[in-house]
Amino acid sequence: MLQIAFIRENKEATLAGLRKKYVADAEAIVDRVLQLDQQRRDTQKELDDVLARSNAKAKEIGALLKSGDKAAAEAAKTETAELKVISKGLDEDLTFIEQQLQNVLVTLPNLPHSSVPEGRTAEDNEVVLEHGEKPALPAGALPHWELIKKYDRDGGPFIDFELGVKISGAGFPVYKGKGARIQRALINFFLDQALAAGYLEIQPPIVINEDSGFGTGQLPDKEGQMYYVKEDKLYLIPTAEVPITNLYRDVILTDNDLPVKNVGYTPCFRREAGSWGAHVRGLNRLHQFDKVEIVQIRKPEESYQALEEMSQYIQSLLQKLELPYRVLRLCGGDMGFTSALTYDMEVWSAAQQRWLEVSSVSNFETYQANRLKLRSKADRSDGPSKTQLLHTLNGSALALPRILAAILENNQTPEGIRIPKVLVPYCGFDVIN
């Protein structure tokens, strides 16, 4: 959530950032925020004045009673009672105004970093770099949803989409045999790599309450994209970012606690998979999928260096998996609601002849921390120190479905599907045939 003090002191910069994210009626919304903020401050000042007068009058009553002036004391008591009525009304007004202000603030997305390119759609994203050679596949190469049928054995295909439809519905594949073992291999590989890079492994809940959804910005923006358990008022997580970042809700960290580097594997659930076409076939878009997520919490002055380090780390995973990839800097119109700067990593699918997004790594600056009330306090021996909001970052490291799709498609040969060397010790075989 944007900080009201920043909006008040930087109205034009706020408007420029909102326009870069194509927020409709940005000026009207900001004007409403500033109007409510002024009302809030005026009401708070009036309430403080009334309370001060009431406190002073209470002291005056004691002095009058002590001096024996009962008539003046009774008059002062009457005035104190009137002031209490006024203060109660002002307190109710203040609560109402603050709620109105909060309701408007939560509709505003994070402001984009200065390096975010202009643009409205994915076509306007900036290609930062490409790495690796696109493989030349043999004649008759197949996309993964057809390729798995080629290796249908007695137990059925190693990724069974039809069985998933039978059990749950479209978007819930069943992994069997070598398909399940590759899934487990990828998860363990990603976790081991993160641990070696200094991340602390977390196994969080995969359902969250409304406060957690609000803290990281999924609520009230993305209710329609999450599965909801009505009886318990719980949501299935869209990503491990949500529960892991919420570990630090209402927490004050010290210098000794920073930086925070967490990693977690979870299944993820998203209701969005409903469109049609080759771009969402097979593993390209699912309702349930596995992902390893990295989360960092940093001091503001360190966060953009941390973002670059996280990007390099995710790229190192793709390099070890021998996958050609590219890095995109997302434009203002294609960025997430809560992000200040996002890099997308896409791998090349040789059979589909298209790029597949497999990771997003983002810096949210103070946007999530403000909602979470996540702050730091410096360790000082010369007296008290002020708290400051921290910066939160997260990235997919990595999401499995499209990684697996690219591995299967890019490594198909006449002899079978070759497994990347780095995964062989994890899955125990080097080819699917």
Which helix (H) or strand (E) segment holds residue 357: the answer is strand 354-363
| pLDDT value, residue 118 | 97
Binding site listing: 239, 270-272, 293, 357-360, 394
How far is Cα 321 from Cα 309, in angstroms, rounded to an integer? 19
- For 92-101, which contacts have Cβ atoms below 8 Å and span 24 or more sequence positions? 93/43, 94/40, 94/43, 94/44, 94/47, 97/36, 97/39, 97/40, 97/43, 98/40, 100/36, 101/4, 101/33, 101/36, 101/37, 101/40
| pLDDT value, residue 277 | 55
- Locate 102 and state its tokens: 């909060």
- Pairing of β 234-236 and β 228-229: antiparallel
Residue 367 has φ and ψ, to the nearest 5°, of: -60, -50
The stretches in the chain having pLDDT less than 70 are: 273-279, 379-384
| pLDDT value, residue 23 | 97
Domains along the chain with CATH numbers: 4-105 (1.10.287.40), 122-432 (3.30.930.10)
| pLDDT value, residue 99 | 98
How far is Cα 153 from Cα 169, in angstroms, rounded to an integer? 23
User: What b-and-e string marks burial along 195-214, b requiring 16 or more CB atoms within 10 Å of the CB?
Assistant: eebebeebebebbbeeebbb
| pLDDT value, residue 208 | 98
Q: Using the 8-state DSSP alphabet, how is residue 334 labeled?
A: G
pTM for the whole structure: 0.93
| pLDDT value, residue 65 | 82
Alpha-carbon Rg of the chain, whole angstroms? 28
- Tens digits of residue pLDDT in 163-177: 999 999 999 999 999
Residue 290 has φ and ψ, to the nearest 5°, of: -100, 145
Report whether 342 contacts 336 (CB < 8 A): yes
How far is Cα 373 from Cα 354, in angstroms, rounded to an integer? 41
Which of 242, 241, 240, 238 is closest to 211 using CA atoms?
242
How far is Cα 238 from Cα 225, in angstroms, rounded to an integer? 8
Which of 95, 68, 92, 65 is closest to 80 using CA atoms?
65
| pLDDT value, residue 279 | 66
How far is Cα 265 from Cα 184, in angstroms, rounded to an integer? 11
Binding site listing for L-serine: 239, 270, 293, 394
Q: Using the 8-state DSSP alphabet, how is residue 172 labeled?
A: -
Binding site listing for ATP: 270-272, 357-360
| pLDDT value, residue 275 | 52
Report whether 365 contacts 352 (CB < 8 A): no
Q: What share of the chain is helix, strand, coil (3-state, %, to 5)?
A: 45, 20, 35
